[in-house]
Structure 1
Amino acid sequence: MSSGSEQHTVALVGNPNAGKTTLFNALTGENQKVGNYSGVTVSRKSGSFRSPQGRKIDLIDLPGCYSLSPQSPDEKVTHDVLSGQQENEQRPDITVCVLDASALERHLQLAMEVIELGHPVVVALNMVDLAESRGIHLDPTILSEELGVPVVPIQANKNKGIVELKQALRHPFPSVAPPKWKTTGSDQERLAARTAFIKEVCGEAARRENDGTLTLTDKIDSFLLHPFTGWVALIGIMLGIFWTIFSLSSYPMDFIDETFGSLGEWTTTQLPDGDFNNLIVDGVIAGIGGTVIFLPQIVLLFFFIALMEASGYMARAAFLMDRVMNLVGLSGKAFLPLLSSHACAIPGIMAARTVDSAKERLITILIAPWMSCSARLPVYTLLIAMLLPQADSLKQAAVMLAIYATGIITALIAARILKGRLAEDETPSHFMLELPPYRLPQLKYLARHIWDRAWAFLKRAGTIILALSIILWALQTYPKPEENSPAAEDPALALEQSFMGQIGHTIEPVFKPLGYDWRTATSVLTSFAAREVFVSSLKISYSISEDADEDEQDLLLREELAAATWPDGRKIYTPLTLLSLLVFFIYALQCLPTSAVVARETNSYKWAIGQLAGMSLFAYLAALAVFQIGSLLGF
């Protein structure tokens, strides 16, 4: 421990939904960093702040848990850090235990386990305003006397009580009085003793004045958790999200379109004609612009997921899905990682750490990429627009919902099959989920959440997609046709004779049974780096001019695809081909970076390679079946 130094380490611990992350943000502000604990794949979120006495305090945000008896990797890390057993991690000098004042009976169990460790503890009694609005009369003084540790009432979302909490972390740290409850005997005896003590303490320190009166949360839950209306609401919310994404995103997309169009035109006039000009305009600006144009759709999807999470509805959706998940051998805990995978598979797979059972956790990781991620939106948007050119936003949203449902249903079937084939593990699966009270989301939290996700997407656009765009430009530019040759006068012929054309013709026989020509096959292949590359790759392959704005480029691309033919004159992009492409992108692994994360999370390249190969083969066979069976039936 570092008690004698000028710098101290404080750990934040608490149940999920206790407001721990909000308090962490309130204390540290922008002084935050995220990494992994040594030897495990659990995220390590840390930051720093100054005490009122000027001391620097390092703050560690431990994974949320319900008990110090670990049932999952996240809970084990919390236990090991607090007990000083975590590799390369010093035991904290003091622990701040965050409790939800409106659910004190449940949250005190963990606090008492932390106090039993015998190290300095301060209790942050959060959401006192919510507790009082629900008719709970709090007495922090009595609670402090009974627990034997300082108790500080706070409202982390409004920065109330933060100064008082910092003062409570003064040095020397407050000593811990011997617990007033029984701490010896069997686990069951200690649990019974804590439960009896909690009932007695809450009767004095958290008296309820309106027992039997339904709260606003109870009234809302009577509708949103109802066996019938709850499902109607869930489906309606999902449909509404997709409709909104299509409708509202068009305005910022138009702005981005005009901006990149103007940038391309300006760059063309500023640079001399030649390969460098073409590289910047057609490779760099076109590649980035073709990806950034879909940022509004991706941001909206992240916004809705964050909104459901912050408002408390996400936990209700998981509760509703528990029965469905049980049918395929999973619990409702798997729903949260799977839903997160609709934004991006990488954080979704990482979120599977909270699943107790190692077997269930592995299954969740393996099926997560079948949750269509936001990177596939550009592909779906293009294909749906071609498949239903006259459809309005509502019809497009319905088709999009059907696409997402196809991936979900297939993933659940796959989970059921894997459940019966994978060996049983020693950790039994159990579903315990905190249903937090409904609350108005914090705009600051939403803004931070969306900014982090958007910036991560833009960084990828500025690295992987930029590099691929330059490579694609080079492949379709070189080798240059000889002067006075037919290819020198015909851009399409020049493209066909380029390295890209040669690669495309080489792999075309593999993809032709799916209805894809060499251009489409090349775009599919490059999309494994990032799904959104597919559209920009098609634009390059079909030589879509960068002189046009984004709307015109999209229109030109659809026109080029609609007019594209095989050598015998047959159309390439028939409805069957478009359906085949949709099916392929529903089932193919989202991107190669996902495989890297799977290897890290499972600590096995075998599972990562097996997942990539298995999903790719399944996608190929499913698309093949759609095209070939459809062709036999005369579609």
Structure 2
Amino acid sequence: MTRVTAPKKCVSVALVGNPNTGKSTLFSALVGVYQRVGNYPGVTVEKRTGRFEFQNQTFEVIDLPGLYSLSPRSRDELVAVNVLLGREPGVEPVDVIVCVVDASNLERNLYLVSQLLELGLPMVVALTMVDVAERQGIQIDVEELSRRLGVPVVPVQAHRGIGVGRVRQVLHGLIEKGIPPSPRSPLPREVQLEIERIFEDLESRGLLARIFEPASEDSRASHSHRSPAILRFWLERLLLDAGGFLRQNVLDGKHPDVLKLLVESQQRLEQAGFAVPEDETHFRYEWVRQLLEGVVKAPEQPRITLTDRLDAVLTHRVWGLMIFAAVMLLMFQAVFRLAEPFNRVIDFGVQSCAALVRSQLQPGAFRDLLVDGVISGVGAVLTFIPQIAILFIFIAILEDCGYVARAAVLMDRFMSRIGLSGKSFIPMLSSFACAVPGIMATRTIDNERDRLTTILVTPLLTCSARLPVYALLIAVFIPDYRYLGGVVGLQGLVLASLYVLGVATAVTVALLLKRTIFRGRSPTFVIELPSYKWPSPRTVILRVWERVVVFLRNAGTIIAAISVLVWAALYYPHDSASIDRNLLNRQAELRVLIETLPPESPQREAWEKELDQVGAEIAAAYQRNSILGRMGRAIEPIFRPLGWDWRIGTAVLASFPAREVVVATLGVMFNLGDISSDDVTSSQELHARLRSATREGSNEPVFNIPVALSLMVFYALCAQCAATLAVIRRETNSWRWPVFTFAYMTTLAYLGALVTYQLASRILTGGA
């Protein structure tokens, strides 16, 4: 007879703590690679969860956004409070809490602990930064602290793996006991009596449960057995909600009777001499001071630590900025240069795979779909991975060692002039390499308005994908004039001007957004400067792996799908009847001739070159009659004021998913053969053919300096990157913002190209 065992219950663990206390490091140490990243339903707040098993028990760990208090003032803080209090849709009720506390700053961190104790949930205090506290001469009696708090206190150094196993063991012990601690509040009896009065009033009228139900029906059954302690704490938060943020989001104007009860209780408290919320802060910190008396011993004069000595240089107004510039230059160069060999390997692998498919399959739509659609699309996705990985290696190292907070402080003065804070600088800077990791890096920005503004302007900064377009057009159409003894060249000045154009436009758009859509007073920039420490290789690797997986799962799939759609639009209807029969006959004739010649024949090379040229003309004819080609000819009147003909317009349309494909598309559209972006600056034949290209039915050249300049300006300002738009969708949890970004950047690009072409044409023709 087979014994059937009951399924193991998954214990829900909430990981809570102040920012910069090592919470994310502990999360990674607890769950390892078994973690998932997403967004909470309906909001842009990131949801990080992971699992681990200990003694045949599964634990689901939720890494909540960092917060200083359970009095929420922002969306991410509200999500954290909702999860803890059992009101967040789609999240199971919390069984146990792990509160991460910085040992070097106990007084401030224990303010949050005083609130968590009122929930009556099993809790573990993970004491981090113990080594930092010891270097500062701070001694902590951990056992006495645990006794006074009434909960286990475990010293940990998660980046070294110290104490992590003990945390798992304590969590398992708390679940086995199954006895929640008695909730305790440091607030005066007058406040507790008012909360009890509201509690009994609402309970007698049957309103209590309905007010605090989760927003979704599916979540209500699992949250229906909330403890009285949690409900009382909900009422306490509503009663002491000074700014009205919590009342607005919980009551939402649907319970005027409850709001009336809260206002009356608040008035009675104020008449009794209790000021809301100032006195709560006073009573909680007084409780913390009494708790720590005799538990913590600190030197009378604070020791000068290595962190203090480093900050004297690294946050200096002059030396700090110089060092910061060097660090950013190193990061930028690393992202730009170190990715190149990896991209070459990826490109070689993609090309080898494509060649293998070509050799194994007969020519036709299916082969072209695999080669030009699927393999090309996957290759476009893979080329972003080295940049993303290298950038996040740097960011993870700088975050883990404590330098990112200093960089934000240094740049805050400049960024505040455009309505942003110092936290927006690093994502914007990294966007010069690639906007995808730059947008992903905006997660370090706490303020939602600043974060959205940064996301919406980072695509304007010139990324590496624009360089092939610039290199081609500058090399072909901008004269190589030299100035100042040859030190300064006109071509270099044009390239620099395009970078300046992106920066100036991004600053202007940021100012407009902060004064219109995201207007409102930006909060004072306050950031904690954590102590410096050696970064944990394990933490760095896990964070980089997490970001790469998120990109592949979300943006990567969209890029590959769009690449296939663009291929289809350029391929179909692929009607051979629309092709000049002479070209098709000549192609067949050349193939027969080449097969009859030995490989070493000198005539073979000339015929093969002619065959390539004929094949390029046939491909161009097919594309001219393709869906995308017809669209290009249909909208040619729109592009005509920019100086473009339908072929340039079609190449631009084809490059909307990824702007770097325009070089290859131009090669096909102008019968230039199969070219890549790697050799555009050295191919004299390519340059000559672009210069000699004429408009259909006339001898007028397609390209000239005004056309080249207008095309470069268009590419400098346009949102031609499916990866960028996909990541904006991912980071904002809405299609509204990628659509807005595409619309406003395309409008700017068109207007910029229009003005550039018209002005350049007038200047070069002497104003005629």
Q: TM-score, normalised by structure 2?
A: 0.70
Q: CA deviation at 1:435?
A: 1.9
CA RMSD, 1 decimal: 4.1
- Given candidates 117, 126, 129, the residue that maps to 2:128 is 126
Q: How do residues 53-132 of structure 1 correspond to structure 2 at under 5 angstroms?
A: 54-132=56-134
**Do structure 1's residue 485 and structure 2's residue 582 form an aligned pair?**
yes
Separation (CA, whole Å) in 1 of partners of 2:350 and 2:99: 50
Aligned to 2:465: 378
Aligned to 2:560: 463
Contact 2:680 2:686 (C-alpha < 8 Å) held by counterparts: no
Separation (CA, whole Å) in 2 of partners of 1:465 and 1:156: 42
Contact 1:42 1:353 (C-alpha < 8 Å) held by counterparts: no
Gaps of 5+ in 2: 1-6, 192-273, 483-487, 587-613
Q: How do residues 195-206 of structure 1 correspond to structure 2 at under 5 angstroms?
A: 195-199=285-289, 204-206=294-296
Contact 1:137 1:207 (C-alpha < 8 Å) held by counterparts: yes
Aligned to 2:439: 348
Q: CA deviation at 1:80?
A: 1.2
SS in 2 for 1:322: helix
Aligned to 1:508: 636
Q: Aligned partner of 2:133: which letter?
A: A
Aligned to 2:181: 176
Q: Aligned partner of 2:466: which letter?
A: V
Q: 1:520 to 1:55 in 2, by over 3 A?
A: same
Q: CA deviation at 1:63?
A: 1.4
* CA displacement, residues 227-252 of structure 1 (integer Å, 9 cap, x when unaligned): 22233333333333333344333333
Contact 2:473 2:712 (C-alpha < 8 Å) held by counterparts: no
* CA displacement, residues 166-202 of structure 1 (integer Å, 9 cap, x when unaligned): 1211222564366584465532122123334445555
Aligned to 1:143: 145
Gaps of 5+ in 1: none
Contact 1:123 1:152 (C-alpha < 8 Å) held by counterparts: yes
Q: 1:92 to 1:384 in 2, by over 3 A?
A: same
**Do structure 1's residue 255 and structure 2's residue 258 form an aligned pair?**
no
Separation (CA, whole Å) in 1 of partners of 2:685 and 2:549: 30
Aligned to 2:536: 442
Contact 2:101 2:126 (C-alpha < 8 Å) held by counterparts: yes
**Do structure 1's residue 522 and structure 2's residue 650 form an aligned pair?**
yes
Separation (CA, whole Å) in 2 of partners of 1:441 and 1:409: 36
Moved more, 12-21 or 84-93: 84-93
SS in 1 for 2:11: strand
Contact 2:332 2:430 (C-alpha < 8 Å) held by counterparts: no
Contact 1:288 1:461 (C-alpha < 8 Å) held by counterparts: no
Aligned to 2:35: 32
Contact 1:94 1:173 (C-alpha < 8 Å) held by counterparts: no
Aligned to 1:48: 51
Aligned to 2:13: 10
Moved more, 17-26 or 550-559: 550-559
Separation (CA, whole Å) in 1 of partners of 2:516 and 2:415: 17
Q: How do residues 417-456 of structure 1 correspond to structure 2 at under 5 angstroms?
A: 417-422=512-517, 429-456=523-550
**Do structure 1's residue 566 and structure 2's residue 663 form an aligned pair?**
no
Q: 1:553 to 1:177 in 2, by over 3 A?
A: same
Percent sequence identity over aligned pairs: 36
Q: CA deviation at 1:131?
A: 3.0
Q: Aligned partner of 1:618: which letter?
A: L
Separation (CA, whole Å) in 2 of partners of 1:605 and 1:469: 21
Moved more, 257-266 or 473-482: 473-482
Contact 1:7 1:56 (C-alpha < 8 Å) held by counterparts: yes
Q: 1:114 to 1:531 in 2, by over 3 A?
A: farther
Aligned to 2:598: none
Q: 1:525 to 1:415 in 2, by over 3 A?
A: same
Q: Aligned partner of 1:63: which letter?
A: P
Aligned to 2:359: 269
Q: CA deviation at 1:573?
A: 5.6
Q: CA deviation at 1:460?
A: 3.6
Separation (CA, whole Å) in 2 of partners of 1:535 and 1:106: 57
Separation (CA, whole Å) in 1 of partners of 2:496 and 2:154: 47
Separation (CA, whole Å) in 2 of partners of 1:401 and 1:145: 64
Q: 1:606 to 1:96 in 2, by over 3 A?
A: closer
Q: 1:456 to 1:616 in 2, by over 3 A?
A: same
How many residues are paired up? Answer: 623
Aligned to 2:201: none
Q: 1:17 to 1:266 in 2, by over 3 A?
A: same
Aligned to 1:315: 405
Q: CA deviation at 1:82?
A: 1.0
Contact 1:27 1:49 (C-alpha < 8 Å) held by counterparts: yes
SS in 1 for 2:83: helix
Q: 1:217 to 1:9 in 2, by over 3 A?
A: same
* CA displacement, residues 116-144 of structure 1 (integer Å, 9 cap, x when unaligned): 33322211112323333444333322322
Q: 1:403 to 1:6 in 2, by over 3 A?
A: same
Larger Rg: 2
SS in 2 for 1:10: strand
Aligned to 2:511: 416
* CA displacement, residues 280-316 of structure 1 (integer Å, 9 cap, x when unaligned): 4444445544664564345433433333333322222
